[in-house]
A and B are shown apart, each in its own frame.
Chain A
C-alpha cells in the first residue's frame, strides 16, 4: 500500500489531489471572511456554485481561465484587490489555485457526496452463495470460494492438527501449545476435536490477555504519561484489567463501546464505569503547567482522532485544519465532535464504595501522622545536619560561605545562585547522620522507623480506577480556530446523518453528550461500527483485513476485497449479540482458516499478497508473543493475572537513555517471581520500551495503532540471540532437561521449544551439537542451554504456519 503511494508521485499530481488541495486551501485561507458565517463583499468561497455566483464584484471564477478569474487575480497580486489581507499566498499555493481553475475548478466534496460512499450505507442483509462443494464448511467458506473460483484459484489443503493447534493457540492466547497439548489434540478421536479445541481456548482467561492487547494497541495504552518526567499513570492498569475481563466475559461489543465512551453517564456499576479509563490512558503532559491551553487542545485532538479511528474506522485528523479533502467530513463536523469531549474532567471510579472511602480516610489520617513523625525525626537530626553541613560548607570558597550566611532576603542575585547551586552539595545524607546518633537517639530512630513502617504495612493501590466525567451540565464553548466567533454545538458527523446533540434535561449532572455519542455509535443501525469491528478480528486472524486499512473505511482506505462477506459478518455479529467469541468461532471453524500455508504456483503469480485467501498467511510472532513463548517453553511463565505493572530486571546497557534516574524510572519489582509474568502485565513506559519488545515492533503507545509492523532486522536477531533474558531462560530450560543421555536431553529440549520430537537427522545433529558444546563450554548443562538458545532463535519458533 505504501508503495502505491510512492508510485503515484512519479506521475503528475492526480486530479483528486489537485482538487482536494485547492479546496482545502480555500477553507484555510479564505473562508473565515468568505464562508458560511461571514460573507464580506457578499462573497462565499465554500461551494462551487457560490464561487461561480460571486459577490459584489461579480463572478469570482471562470472555470478553465485562471487569468480571467477574479479569485486568481486577487491571490496572485495581478488585480486591484490583493488577497488574503493577512499575508500573500506562497508561490506554490498561487500556482495550485491556477492549476485548479485551469482544470475546471472541480469541487471534490461534491464528487464524494454525490456518489454514495459504501461504508456510510447501512449494512445490507446478505445470503451466502449456495455452492455445492465439500470444502464449504461454513458460510464464510462460500463467500471465499466464490471469489477464488472467480479469480481462477483454488483453496489449499487443510493444515495438519499440529499446525492447527499452534495457529489457534497463538491467535487466541498468544502462547504456543505444550507438547502434551499437541499430542492430546493429535490423538483426539472425536469428530468435533477441533471445535472442542476452539471452545476450550475461548473459555480460557489467556484469551483476554491476548485480545486485550489488540485493544490496548488501538487505544494507545501506557502506564506513564510521556515527556521529560514521564510520570506514572498510577492506576492505568485497572483499565488494562478491565479490558482483559471484558474480552474474557465476551462482553457484547456494543456494551463495551458504551462503557468506554460514556460508562459514567450510562451505567451505575463501577465495573462498567471503569471503561471510561479509555480517555485517561493516553499520553499527556498534565504535569507541565503554563501550557494548559496547549495541553487541552492536544488532549481534545487525541480524543477526537482516537475515537473516530478506533470506533468508526474514520480518519478525521485532516478536518482539524480544513474540510477533509477526501471524505465528507467538514472542519465544522470535527469541532462538533470535539465539543462532545470538551466538558471532560478526569475522575476516579470507586470500585467498592465503602472501601474507597475507608482508603481515603486512612490516607488522610496517615498524612496527618506523617507530618508529626517527620517533624520528630527532623528535630532529632537537626543538630547533626547543622554540624555536617557546616563542615562541608567550610571547604567551599569564601564567597559561597558568605551566601549561605546571608539571610534569604538580603542575598544578592549571585549569592542566590550560589546558594541554589550548592544547597544540594552541602546537604548531609542520612547515612552520614545516623552513625553519629547517641544510643538513646538510635532507640528513638528505631521507634520512628517502626511507627513509619506500621503506617505503611498495609499500603497498596486503592480500590480506584481512572475515569472521566463532565465538569457539569453545560460544556465550555468550542470554536473553530481562526474562523468566526460563534460556538459550535456538539454533534455527530453530518455525512453519517448525525445531528446536533440536544442539551441535557434539567437536573442532569453532565452534558450527556458522550452518552449520545456512545448510543449513536453502538447502535445496530450504525453503518460503520460492526463492519469496523469484524474487520479488525479478520485482520488479527488472517494478517490482513477484508478492508486492508482497518482504521480507514473512508475514501482513502482500500475497498473491501470481499464486500459481501464483510456485510454478512457484520450482520451476523450484531445478530449474535455483538459477541466476539461467536465471531472467532465463525471464522476459525471455516475451511479458509484451516488451510495450510503452502501456496499453489498459481496463487504465487496471481495473488502474491494472498488477498483472496487461497492459503493461510504465515505470520511472525508479535513482540509480546516472542517473550511469552520463550517463558512458556522454558517453563518459567508465571500465569498470575492482573495488578500493578511488573518491572523486570534489565541489564544496565538495556536501560541506556532513560530520561529519569533509574532509581525512579525503573523500580524493579522486588518479587522476582513476578519478572516472568506475561508481557501484557509488564510496565509500558512511554519514554522507554523494553529493547526485546521494541525491536519486534511493539508500538510506542502514543498514537492509535491498528496494525503492527512485522519487520525483520538484525537487531531483532541480536536481542533474541544475546540478551540476558534469552540466556537465563535457556539455562532454566536446560536445568529441567538434564535427565538421561544426549539423545534424551535433545528430545526434551526439542519437545519443550518446538512441541515435537526431533527427527532422526535432527537428533544426530543435536547430539553432535551437545557433544561439541560440552567440550567448548565445560558442562552438559551449558551445552543444553545452548541448544535451547539456538531453538528459541529458529524460524520454526518465531513463525506461525
Chain B
C-alpha cells in the first residue's frame, strides 16, 4: 500500500533502524560528525559541583559564615534559605591534574588521571530546583514530562547501526525520581524510546521465552506465527506494514540471541574487568554497566544512557543530610568504572568516535544544609565531556567566587543539547518533528549558545 520508501519508513519502521531520513537531510554534517555515538553518564540526584569539578577556595575562607551582602537574594531551593544558611568548605582536596592542570577533587582519583581528556563546563545553569522537573529538563529540554529525551531524538535522527539492537539503551539503578519519562520518546513514535537493559540472561523486558517454554517450543510457536502471517500476507502483498511486522518477529528472535551476547561479560578478559573495578564490592555494579555500555556502542548502539543513583536506594541526593558519606560512596562506586571506560574506549580506538558525557540534574548548594549537607542547586553547576575529538584538559565558563551562579559563558540545557546534536552531525534547528502543528525541536526555541567549536578547539 505504501510504495515509496518514505511511506514505508514512516508507517512500517525497520526494527530499530528507523531513520529520520537523515540521508536526505544533512549528509555533509553527518559525514563530518565527530561523534558516532554517545555514552551519557547521568549522576542521578544532584552532584555537588564545588566538591568535584569547580573548586571554590572562598568557601574554606568563609566557612561557617553566611553569604555577604545580597549574594543570596533571589535564589530559591527546596530546604535552605540562601539568606541565612552558612557556607560550607569542601571536605575534599582539589589538585591540578595532568599536563593541563585542570582541577579535580580527590573524590575522583581515577578520573583525575584522564584530566587531559576532559572538557569541563563549569557554567551550566537551569531554573528547576526539584528533581523530577530538573531531570526532565536535562533529558528532554522541558521541565514538564511528555517531550522526547535527547536519546530519543538521537535515535530518531540517526537510527541504529545494528538492526538487532535498539538505538537508544538505558541502564539505571531502578527507580528514577522523574519516572521513566526521562528516557521516553514523548510525542515521537514508541520505537525511539530508551530500551532499558539490565545485566543477566534477559537484558531486555520480555526477551526471555515464557517460563516453561523450551527454546524448541518457542521456535515452533514462532514458526507457526510466521507461517500464518505469510499466508495472510500472500493476499495483501501491497502492504509493507504487514511485512514489517513479520520482520519484527524475526528480529525479536534474533534479539534473543544477540542481546544476551551483548551483555555477556564472561568473554571479557580479567584485565578488562579489573579496569572497570568489576568483582570489587563498591565498583562492581557501575563497573558492569560501564563495560556493558562499551559492548553496546561497539555493536552499533547510538546512545547509551547510564544513571547512577536511585530514588529508592543509594543516591547522590543523600547529600541533603550527609554530603561526606553520600559523595564518598557514590563517587567511589563510579570513579574507577568511569575511568576504566575512558581507558578501555581509548585502547580499542573507540574514544575518537564516542562522546562520553558526565552530567547531573543540578549541583548542590555551596551553603550547608544542617552541618554536613548540601541542598539542590540549579543556578550554577558543572559537567564534562570527553572523546570524539574533543580538545580536553580545558575548562569552559565559571561560577562566581562562591559557586552560586554561572557567570561567564553561561550554558543552559538547550545550549548543551544543541552542542551534543551537532557533535553527532545533527543540526538542532533542523531536527524537527511536527506535533500539535509545531515543528518541535529538542531545543524548543533556544540553543543559540552552542559550544561545539570550543569543544573541538577549532
Contact = CB atoms under 8 A, between A and B. Distances in A.
B180 A657 contact: yes
Interface stretch (A52-60, A224-232, A497-505): A224-232
B190 A697 contact: yes
B238 interface: yes
A532 B239 CA distance: 30
B321 to A, nearest CB: 5
Contact of B179 (A10, A317, A657, A713): A657
Nearest to A291: B130
B255 A714 contact: yes
B206 interface: yes
A773 interface: yes
Contacts of A694: 190, 193
B178 A798 contact: no
A387 interface: no
Nearest to A558: B437
B14 to A, nearest CB: 9
B146 A700 contact: yes
Contacts of A704: 436
A657 B78 CA distance: 24
Contacts of A413: 368, 370-372
A563 B196 CA distance: 46
B214 A228 contact: no
Nearest to B20: A6
Contacts of B208: 722
B15 interface: yes
A12 to B, nearest CB: 13
A688 interface: yes
A48 to B, nearest CB: 24
A412 B371 contact: yes
Contacts of A291: 130
A716 interface: yes
Interface stretch (B3-11, B340-348, B382-390): B3-11
A598 B233 CA distance: 12
Contact of B10 (A2, A318, A605): A2
For the side of the interface on A, what is the size category? 35 or more
Interface string B219-254: 011101101110111011011011011101101100
Contacts of A769: 220, 224
Interface string A6-50: 110110000000000000000000000000000000000000000
B24 interface: yes
Contact of A700 (B7, B10, B186, B235): B186
B365 to A, nearest CB: 15
A795 B233 CA distance: 8
A33 to B, nearest CB: 21
B145 interface: yes
Contacts, number: 294
Nearest to B325: A421
B454 interface: no
A247 to B, nearest CB: 24
A696 B238 CA distance: 23
Contacts of A656: 174, 196, 198, 205
Contacts of B209: 722
B437 A414 contact: no
Interface stretch (B270-278, B394-402, B404-412, B427-435): B427-435
Given A703-B436, A716-B248, A710 B11 contact: yes
Interface residues of B, number: 106
A51 interface: no
A700 B246 CA distance: 27
Contacts of A10: 24-25
B439 interface: yes
B311 A660 contact: yes
Contacts of B213: 727, 777, 786
Contacts of A773: 217, 220-221
A318 to B, nearest CB: 7
B448 A719 contact: no
A7 B24 contact: yes
Contacts of A688: 179-180
A695 interface: yes
B456 interface: no
A661 to B, nearest CB: 6
Given A552-B436, A620-B241, A717 B252 contact: yes
Contacts of B252: 714, 717-718, 721
B371 A416 contact: yes
Nearest to B373: A417
Interface stretch (A61-69, A282-290, A470-478): A282-290
Interface string A773-789: 10011000010001101
A315 B204 CA distance: 38
B176 interface: yes
Contact of A723 (B10, B206, B229, B437): B206
Nearest to A413: B371
A620 B11 CA distance: 11
B190 A772 contact: no
B175 interface: yes
B21 A6 contact: yes
Closest 8 CB pairs of A and B: A687-B179, A702-B146, A413-B371, A552-B437, A228-B132, A227-B132, A727-B210, A711-B189
25 contacts: A1-B434, A5-B434, A6-B432, A290-B76, A309-B436, A321-B445, A421-B321, A618-B1, A618-B239, A654-B205, A656-B198, A686-B181, A687-B180, A687-B181, A700-B184, A712-B245, A714-B249, A714-B251, A719-B206, A776-B220, A777-B212, A786-B217, A786-B220, A786-B224, A798-B245
Given A694-B190, A702-B181, 18 more contacts: A3-B21, A288-B133, A413-B371, A552-B436, A552-B437, A618-B1, A618-B239, A659-B132, A661-B175, A686-B145, A688-B179, A691-B205, A714-B248, A717-B245, A717-B249, A727-B210, A762-B231, A791-B228
